[in-house]
Structure 1
Amino acid sequence: MAQTLDDLIRSSELPVFIDFWADWCGPCKMVAPAVKQLASEFKGRLTVVKVNVDRQPDAAAKFEVQGIPALMLFVGGQLKWRTSGALPYQQIRKEVLKVVG
């Protein structure tokens, strides 16, 4: 079992999608249903993780999160896609499909 976010990214056999968010963030609340839908649709093909930047500021700093929501997709330990701001589900899904297939 992964002990840290780094461990998860490095050791996961599945691509890892991370949503950096906060309770007070309006755009984070807008993108949350899309992230939930992504987790459901790609279950077994994608690991989806939500990281609260207020509770885990060290993780946000390590991954150089400048604005939230920050969405990142890692494959084989490597960052393959990154964006910040609320995106519609279809746009997020399109980026995930590029690596998950």
Structure 2
Amino acid sequence: MNILNPNSGNATSIDDTAAKEATRLLLEELIGQAESIDEVQAQLQETFTANTLEDIIIKYFGYYINELLSKWFYENLIKNKSEGDCDNFLIKLKIL
């Protein structure tokens, strides 16, 4: 089983989907390409030495909100703007 893509069933709502994607992205950021439990432990220790739990929670909710915005507003944006404009807008949101 890949720790970054746990098989925990299908998401049943937009919120579930956003939460799963936010979790996946955060885990990917925190433990990257770790291949053993020792590497995971070392990377997490390094992360929590440099960051507070508050920083990690803020990152999670940033990923979560970005995913929600992407799903909820993308179709409506395409109706009013070109697909390229929408993609650029969402990329800028993610960077901020």
Determine which structure has more spread, i.e. the larger CA radius of gyration.
Answer: 2
Which protein is richer in helix relative to its size?
2
Establish whether TM, by shorter chain, passes 0.5: no
- Larger RCO, structures 1/2 (Cα 8 Å, 6+ apart): 1
TM-score, normalised by the number of residues in structure 1: 0.29
Which protein is richer in strand relative to its size?
1
